[in-house]
């Protein structure tokens, strides 16, 4: 038997031990193939024979590459005598405990750029809006607010997002609340309402290259001119949207990169063309239109209408289940999952996110995936509680939590950038799961692998067809310009659904690539990133303060002359818009107030309540005392209520029940268990 020297990985500690070994020592085999043991723990590394017939064990940590025999020209797998293996306390692995490497299925995959590249990668992002999902974030005190923003946007820190998509507020309920419009009325313009302007600036401050998208869910009433429809007067609607884009630039120095049509509602071809013409006429040709932020149906019209096809830059679908349709491919446009995820941010949510980040491209040719929502910064009992990439819903305590989806995002975002290209590979692993490979065209390569199982990666929608994932060995052959790659950095996550002690975004020792190939043993529910880049980091801050319930004693007199935001802290508008208002005509103690300013029902996206409502505090069944001073502006038919022990908000607010205390302008009052009251009480209501 020829002398063999096997090279597996790079050693962290560099310890080498020599064991006397009879020559020749046999290589164990299974199904006629030599086996390769892996060394785990401190002894994960090199096993070989030297010229003096000793077993050479170089102990190190990390992921090992392939073992190749040198000398006779043939390849042999590594072996070590049982007594030597036990002496050093090493085990076969990695993989399921007790499962030897021989039990793994094995397959090979080629990564080659010699014959061209796949589609261009457009980035990973998240949505603030749809609606009021970042409402509580602005109320955090420093340093916690900046820490949360760093985890979301700062490059090579946390999620390192490439895209921020925000709601163009329209005064209507859009999931968890309402977001104010920049034009409540036709002759009214104010580009400082709400917090989306602030959020976009904070994102740009951390990542100047981040792409910004605006999308309306609702529209103020004046656009429809009496109808609950935004397309009857396309010039008016286009003017409204273009005004928001111009205001972003003029007042906040924000360049909007893309704009949408109407979230998850009907599209109108004429309006899309008018919007494109309006943008071009003002020199905004660089702003791309995304259509239609719903299903793929717009593509059917695009392939028969060249003017519509020219107007649209991105075909965006929501919750596509990683699949596209033939018509979308025929448009030759960028295909995006322009809203996805929407799942509780525990380990299963992280599994959902890991699976679709890869498989939206592998199965559907989608080059961007955008999560709803950015950060769960709204009261958790509202619809879709904790469906953000992280959780920040306690500004009164400063507590927040960096959830698992943040680090799953980092596996892609910290090692790719918009403008990179996917390699032309199938992307399906033979044992289940998927991989994508991307390059910057300058020699850098990033491979992201996921092995999420069916039970641990179900998103809230659509239904997930059953599939099987098993432990497996994957061997990758690097060809073309990647053949000379010698080492790949390795980042690893393992989602644990039993003990809850997941291992998230940990850097392992690099993989050494031997003559253009390396192997990995993949367990289930894992994510690997292998990359030529050395810039990745898992950064963090000291633990934030512990969680605390909403303060049992809370007071706000709204006495602030120059508020940083238009809304009072911790109030979450559910129907209508409540803003700070200086009542200069008041001779007493109520110059500074919170005023409901929308008096016309907007073009709705959800079933807004008939009454205007703002919510504050916990959804708790407790005894409470509420005191407030109220000014009813409509002396004949106005009114107000205060409610407690309520059970619904957001898009379900219309059917909420609780204890409602109503006061009317004529001095009468009433107590009810729901919102069903006569029309004389239509506006200026506060919901606590």
Catalytic, out of 110, 189, 264, 381: 264
- Cα–chain-centroid distance for residue 103? 36
Counting DSSP H helices and E strands in the chain, the numbers are 11, 31
Question: What distance lies between CA 331 and its chain's CA centroid?
Answer: 27
* Spatial separation of the C-alpha atoms in residues 69 and 75, rounded to whole Å: 5
Residue 16 dihedral angles phi and psi, to the nearest 5° = -125, 130
Please say if 450 is a catalytic residue. Answer: no
Distance between CA atoms of residues 238 and 246, nearest Å:
12
d(CA 371, CA 342) in angstroms, rounded, equals 7
Q: Checking DSSP bridges between strand 15-20 and strand 54-59, what pairing results, if any?
A: antiparallel
DSSP β-bridge partners for residue 48: 56
H-only helix segments in 378-478: 404-413
Contact 456, 348 (CB under 8 A): yes
Quick check: is 339 catalytic? Answer: yes
Between CA 17 and CA 484 the distance in angstroms is: 31
Name 369's Cβ contacts closer than 8 Å, sequence gap at least 6.
124, 125, 336, 337, 340, 341, 356, 357, 360
φ, ψ for residue 463 (rounded to 5)? -55, 145
Q: Is 601 helix (H, G, I), strand (E, B) or coil?
A: coil
Distance separating the N- and C-terminal Cα atoms of the chain = 82
Angle at 431 between CA 425 and CA 434, to 5 degrees: 40
Rounded-to-integer distance, Cα 119 and Cα 439, Å: 11
Q: 49 with 55: CB under 8 angstroms?
A: yes
Paired residues of 211 in beta bridges: 163
d(CA 380, CA 176): 10
d(CA 379, CA 385): 7
CA 512, CA 509: separation in Å to the nearest integer? 9
Q: Give the count of alpha carbons within 13 A of 171, CB side only.
A: 23
CA-to-CA distance for 370 and 368, rounded, in angstroms? Answer: 7
What are the E-state strand segments in 373-516?
A: 391-394, 399-401, 421-422, 434-439, 445-450, 472-478, 487-494, 503-512
Q: Given phi > 0 = left and psi -120 to 50 = alpha, else beta, which region is 253?
A: left
Element (H, E) at 199: helix 196-206
Dump the DSSP string for 248-262. Answer: HHHHH-----EE-SS
The phi and psi torsions of 196 (rounded to 5 degrees) equal: -65, -35
Annotated active-site residue in 196, 339, 450, 579: 339
Q: Enter the DSSP assignment of 340.
A: E
Residues marked as catalytic: 264, 339
């Amino acid at each position: 038997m020829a002398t063999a020297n096997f090279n597996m990985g790079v050693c962290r500690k560099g310890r080498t031990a020599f064991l006397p070994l009879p020559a020749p020592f046999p290589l164990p085999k299974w199904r006629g193939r030599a086996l390769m043991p892996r060394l785990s723990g401190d002894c994960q590394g090199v096993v070989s024979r030297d010229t003096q017939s000793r077993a050479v064990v170089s102990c190190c940590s990390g992921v090992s590459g392939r073992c190749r025999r040198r000398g006779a020209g043939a390849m042999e797998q590594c072996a070590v005598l049982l007594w030597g293996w036990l002496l050093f306390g090493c085990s076969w692995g990695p993989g399921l405990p007790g499962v030897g490497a021989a039990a793994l299925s094995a397959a090979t995959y080629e990564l080659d750029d010699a014959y061209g590249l796949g589609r261009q990668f457009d980035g990973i992002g998240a949505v603030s809006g749809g609606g009021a999902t970042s409402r509580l974030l602005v109320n955090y005190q420093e340093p916690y607010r900046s820490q949360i923003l760093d985890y979301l946007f700062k490059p090579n820190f946390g999620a390192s997002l490439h895209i921020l998509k925000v709601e163009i507020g329209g005064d209507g309920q859009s999931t968890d609340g309402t977001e104010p419009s920049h034009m409540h009325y036709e002759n009214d313009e104010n580009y400082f309402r709400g917090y989306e302007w602030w959020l976009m600036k904070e994102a740009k401050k951390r990542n100047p290259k981040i792409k910004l998208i605006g999308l309306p869910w609702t529209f103020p009433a004046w656009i429809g001119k009496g109808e609950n429809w935004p397309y009857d007067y396309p010039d008016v609607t286009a003017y409204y949207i273009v005004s928001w884009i111009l205001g972003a630039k003029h007042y906040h120095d924000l360049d909007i990169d893309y704009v949408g049509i109407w979230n998850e509602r009907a599209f109108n071809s004429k309006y899309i063309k008018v919007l494109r013409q309006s943008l071009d006429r003002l020199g905004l040709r660089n702003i791309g239109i995304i259509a239609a932020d719903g299903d793929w149906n717009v593509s059917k019209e695009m392939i028969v209408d060249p003017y519509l096809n020219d107007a649209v830059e991105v075909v965006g679908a929501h919750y596509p289940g990683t699949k596209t349709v033939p018509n979308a491919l025929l448009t030759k446009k960028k295909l995006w999952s322009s809203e996805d995820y929407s799942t509780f941010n525990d380990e299963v949510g992280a599994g959902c996110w890991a699976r679709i980040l890869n498989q939206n491209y592998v199965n559907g040719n989608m080059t961007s995936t955008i999560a709803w929502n950015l950060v769960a910064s709204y009261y958790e009992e509202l619809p879709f509680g904790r469906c953000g990439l992280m959780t920040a819903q306690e500004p009164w305590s400063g507590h927040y939590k960096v959830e698992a989806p943040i680090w799953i995002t980092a596996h892609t975002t910290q090692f790719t950038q918009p403008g990179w290209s996917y390699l032309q590979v199938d992307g399906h692993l033979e044992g289940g799961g998927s991989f994508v490979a991307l390059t910057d065209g300058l020699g850098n390569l990033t491979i992201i692998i996921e092995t999420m199982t069916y039970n641990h990666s179900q998103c809230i929608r659509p239904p997930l067809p059953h599939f099987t994932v098993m432990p497996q060995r994957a061997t990758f052959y690097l060809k073309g310009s990647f053949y000379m790659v010698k080492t790949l950095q390795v980042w690893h996550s393992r989602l644990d659904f039993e003990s809850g002690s997941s291992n998230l975004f940990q850097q392992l020792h690099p993989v050494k690539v031997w003559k253009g190939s390396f192997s990995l043993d993949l367990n289930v529910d894992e994510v690997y990133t292998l990359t030529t880049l050395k810039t990745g980091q898992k950064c963090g801050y000291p633990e934030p303060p512990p969680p605390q319930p909403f303060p049992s004693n809370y007071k706000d007199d709204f006495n602030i002359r120059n508020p940083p935001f238009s809304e009072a802290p911790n109030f979450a508008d559910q129907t209508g818009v409540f803003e700070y208002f200086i009542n200069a005509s008041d001779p007493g103690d109520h110059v500074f107030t919170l005023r409901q300013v929308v008096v016309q029902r907007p073009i709705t996206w959800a079933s807004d309540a008939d009454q205007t409502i703002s919510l504050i505090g916990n959804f708790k069944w407790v005894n409470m005392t509420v005191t407030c001073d109220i000014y009813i502006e409509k002396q004949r038919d106005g009114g107000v209520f205060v409610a407690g022990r309520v059970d619904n908000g957001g898009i379900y607010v219309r059917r909420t029940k609780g204890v409602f205390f109503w006061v009317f302008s004529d001095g009468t009052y009433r107590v009810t268990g729901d919102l069903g009251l006569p029309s004389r009480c239509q506006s200026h209501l506060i919901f606590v």
